[in-house]
Structure 1
């Protein structure tokens, strides 16, 4: 997951080298999400039938191919190809890796398995911009060297996946061909609010991982890649902290309260855009990230507990389809609005829409609380 966000603080350097606009940045980012969604829709249930390890290894191969595209890029075609391959890799990994971690966890760790999976996801996504931002500041050729580091990390992960046991015993119980992802009726009462809260939270992550450097340079007046990488890392670090808090808050309260905290974060980000304040932007990033993490882990936990074991990867993948639609389409909208209305106004409209969705989810959950129970139909 680290490799999927490495380009975030480098977009400014690519813009200088290739001469494209902020709107093109959002398109490059969006094709990554398209790759994720395609992989989830067509192959999200694949590991339920062929096994976790083959799918994880295929995801790592695609990740390495993406890094090679960036390593030898000479223009926009390689950037688009690299992002599509990165998206396909993440699409194979998200639902499969979450299911694998839950299944591999010893019984005494069962309560923490989902946290480990989601924290690895968010931690990897946050580490990418921090690593790339620091390298962009301090190494002579960051557009190449950062992807050499990425290839080394992928190689280590490949060895790690080879060493883990396979958790799918019956590999012939379901069709191996692509099929439409389905959410069983018993899962839907948990799936709908989890998807709504996740949409609001992941739309925020999409904003920070695509146009945050542009906000910093054009609105706040800070163009340092290390700073932009650190700000994006702060969002994901706060998300991980929010996930850790869920154990204390409890699943029932974590989903609505995560949405409340996300609304507060959006208010701070709006204030930062109005006043051009770096402090408020960082505070908003930390607050929104914490709210996203709190509601994200609660949603994944509720959906996982209600899902039948033989369909856990499929249902988890269906949830991630919603989340990656959230991470892409709103960001493209911000890019379009930035061209016509300006980046500041686009950010304010986006923040208002996210806050409205999070507030609506909170009201829905308070009116119709979701009972948490074990998996099965």
Structure 2
């Protein structure tokens, strides 16, 4: 008996599911400063809640990585979307820093569930082979980048249009979007044969770090560390100054600029891209920190945030990821990419947390000055090591 035909363009639904999970992480972003100010929390508490996402990704990566090959692609994607909707619902009901910490854990688990499962499922639904893989990769990349780039901007627009409406209308829209996708994605066929799932060995997949890639991998620590500072301490400092929406505006501009410029330089060789990105990153973070804490004003803040996004998302991140993929052998490439993301999320959590605690202890000006000096020292060391290694 012939197998039923796959739905046409089914991979697009999987891409929308990834978009729903990504939106959960950025839709509440403009309200971070309000959450902290409302409860009397400082920058350290906000950074700690923010870091729960990255910590969850790091801890759960060895288990969630092989899960799509054990229980199937569809259950993982459905679970990821459900966790994303749950995180938004939690923040809609309890808009606070403690709820943000729990929501960030749910978001980290949700992204971990869909990260590997969605790419494999979309490729198989697209027909498999090289053409299906390329089409699926494009769909997943667009869904991820798009959700990270527009989620916060949508909420900023909602807050500006209806300032008295809390939570913003984007929260309800996201929950409705996720529920609709749960119903639609549940109708798609599973593509992992049961016999193959039964033959998979082990429930854990540890990350790997190929030789020769440590410098380009380490570069993501100041890269994602600086973006994390803009998302946490800069927002908290500006909210305390009475500019609750300026921090989110800088953060959204950071992500959007990085995404747009990334497309123009995607063919640049990995190591030169990383070195250029570190230099751009130092310029942008200096401008942004000056605008936030030292009275530089609106334009250095916004311009600096955009330049941070360009340095990180257009150069350091794709360059480092490509260098790891080149250095790893075929069978270890997935584990090497997982290792790269472990280091990335370490920078995304530890650096903003340290700076947030320093803001509370030393004041915004001193803390951000020390943060920039630390980022500069790391960038110089990593850039020199990258140049020496080729």
- Name the TM-score class by shorter chain: 0.7 to 0.9
Distance 1:51 1:14, change over 3 A: same
Match of 1:233 among 252, 255, 260: 252
Residue 223 of structure 1 aligns with which residue? Answer: 243
Secondary structure in 1 matching 2:200? coil
Asked if the contact 2:158–2:168 (Cα under 8 Å) also holds between the matched residues in 1, the reply is no
Q: Give, in angstroms, the shift of residue 114 of structure 1.
A: 6.0
1: CA distance, partners of 2:330 / 2:76: 18
Distance 1:301 1:96, change over 3 A: farther
Residue 169 of structure 2 aligns with which residue? Answer: 145
2: CA distance, partners of 1:285 / 1:245: 19
Q: Give, in angstroms, the shift of residue 176 of structure 1.
A: 4.6
Secondary structure in 2 matching 1:141? coil
Distance 1:106 1:316, change over 3 A: same
Residue 319 of structure 1 aligns with which residue? Answer: 340
Q: Give, in angstroms, the shift of residue 286 of structure 1.
A: 1.4
Match of 1:135 among 158, 168, 175: 158
**CA shift digits 1:56-98 (9 cap, x unpaired):** 2221121122122112227554333222212211233345445
How does 1:166-185 map onto structure 2 within 5 Å? 170-177=196-203, 179=204, 181-183=206-208
Match of 1:286 among 301, 306, 313: 306
The alignment's C-alpha RMSD in Å is 3.1
Structure 2: runs of 5+ lacking an equivalent: 1-21
Residue 22 of structure 1 aligns with which residue? Answer: 43
Distance 1:76 1:13, change over 3 A: closer
Match of 1:40 among 58, 61, 84: 61
**CA shift digits 1:112-132 (9 cap, x unpaired):** 976765554343223222222
How does 1:151-230 map onto structure 2 within 5 Å? 151-158=175-182, 161-162=185-186, 170-177=196-203, 179=204, 181-183=206-208, 187-190=210-213, 192-218=214-240, 221=241, 223-225=243-245, 227-230=246-249
Q: Which moved more, 1:95-104 or 1:193-202?
A: 95-104
Asked if the contact 2:278–2:311 (Cα under 8 Å) also holds between the matched residues in 1, the reply is yes
Match of 2:76 among 44, 49, 55: 55
Distance 1:209 1:60, change over 3 A: same
Structure 1: runs of 5+ lacking an equivalent: 370-377
Secondary structure in 2 matching 1:205? helix
Residue 269 of structure 1 aligns with which residue? Answer: 288
Asked if the contact 2:231–2:251 (Cα under 8 Å) also holds between the matched residues in 1, the reply is yes
2: CA distance, partners of 1:165 / 1:314: 27
Secondary structure in 1 matching 2:212? helix
Residue 25 of structure 2 aligns with which residue? Answer: 4
1: CA distance, partners of 2:42 / 2:338: 33
Per the normalisation by structure 2, the TM-score is 0.80
Q: Give, in angstroms, the shift of residue 322 of structure 1.
A: 1.4
2: CA distance, partners of 1:358 / 1:155: 43
Per the normalisation by structure 1, the TM-score is 0.82
Residue 89 of structure 2 aligns with which residue? Answer: 68
Distance 1:112 1:285, change over 3 A: farther
Q: Give, in angstroms, the shift of residue 3 of structure 1.
A: 1.0
Residue 148 of structure 2 aligns with which residue? Answer: 125
